[in-house]
Amino acid sequence: MRAIREIGWRRTLKFALFTCAHAVYEAALFPPLRAAMLTLFGAHVGRGAVVQRVRFCNMDRTGFRGLCIGDSCFLGDECLIDLADEVTMEAQTTLAERVTILTHTNVGYRDHPLRAFIPSMTAPVVLRRGAFVGANVTVLPGVEIGECAVVAAGAVVRESVPPWTVVGGVPAHVLKRLRDTSAASA
């Protein structure tokens, strides 16, 4: 009951409805059916997108309307996508297996002792055209992964990644530049 008092009845009902919608989505056995379900529930899913067994959380915040998957994207098995804020995947982006995309931070109820130090926040995540995110990567709120950037497996991405760059590690740091983009931005 404390959770209902904290978030209110309206959001509780939205949570219940989106939990049911997620159960229907999970019943879809094949990627084209999953993509169709996401579209039916309000997400934008581009042509040729492949959606494996992906889980979603915090759907009561943005709903599936907060999810935009471009043409020819691939979302691997057991990815977790937080829809507390918007998640945008431009065309030809790839999420390998078990990628976690977080769009919010919340340590707990309003009276949690850490709330004074770690306030609740949400921020969108954007993956630009052609980005590749390796297996078991965690992407934190507010991050933009640049065009054709590569995130190595197991990385934790706290800051935005420049285009045409390979990053890896915990926290993620630049490992290699695939293309010099400084002349294009000057």
Which DSSP letter does residue 146 get?
P
Q: Give yes or no for a contact between 61 and 122, defined as CB atoms under 8 angstroms apart.
A: yes
* Catalytic residue of the set 22, 44, 104, 112: 112
Q: Active-site residue 104, yes or no?
A: no
How far is residue 43's CA from residue 35's CA, in Å, rounded to a whole number? 9
> 67: burial class by Cβ within 10 Å (0-12, 13-18, 19+)?
buried
Residue 51 to residues 22, 67, 105, 127, 143: CA-CA distances in angstroms?
14, 13, 25, 16, 22
Which residues are annotated as catalytic? 112
